[in-house]
Amino acid sequence: MYELTVEREFSAAHMMRGHPGACARLHGHNYRVLLTVEGEELDETGILVDFADLRRVFDRILDDLDHRNLNELEPFTQVNPSSEHLARYLYGRAAEALDGVVRVSRVTVCESGTSCVTYREE
Ligand SMILES: [Zn+2]
């Protein structure tokens, strides 16, 4: 089994409705996000999927979030834009975009250098 990971960054504002502390106030993060895909079959050149293609797909998704207030975007008008929900959202978007290309293994969202959430299915 091969796993490939690309790492990107984006910046966004959010606030956590119902949070008892400072996170209930509008604030921002420079998010670091990692997309990992997996597969067993390499192509004739010996790669699972081109890193550049993976970055392009992920960047297109992240462009929708970059320099935005996440609370104003679906589905975060309804559910809190926690890193947990963000990771699951990005997993779903990536799995949809890469359907038929490669299987998405997991998405990790880091809202700081020391605090990360990983979402994977199963
Ligand atoms: Zn926050």
Q: What is the pLDDT of residues 25-45, one digit of tens each?
A: 999 999 999 999 999 999 999
In the chain, the number of structural domains is: 1
How far is residue 41's CA from residue 46's CA, in Å, rounded to a whole number?
A: 9
CATH number at residue 55: 3.30.479.10
- pLDDT value of position 122: 76
Q: What range does the domain containing 53 cover?
A: 2-27+39-119
The answer to whether residue 86 is domain-embedded is yes
Q: Where are the beta strands (DSSP E) in 1-122?
A: 2-14, 27-39, 68-69, 103-112, 115-119
Chain-centroid distance of CA 77 in Å reads 18
- 116 CA distance to ligand 1 middle (Å): 12
pTM: 0.96
Which residues belong to the active site? 23, 67, 111
User: To the nearest whole number, what is the mean pLDDT of the chain?
Assistant: 97
Q: Ligand 1 centroid vs 91 CA: distance in angstroms? A: 19
Q: What are 62-103's pLDDT values in tens digits?
A: 999 999 999 999 999 999 999 999 999 999 999 999 999 999
Q: Is residue 99 part of a domain?
A: yes
| CA 14 from centre of chain | 15
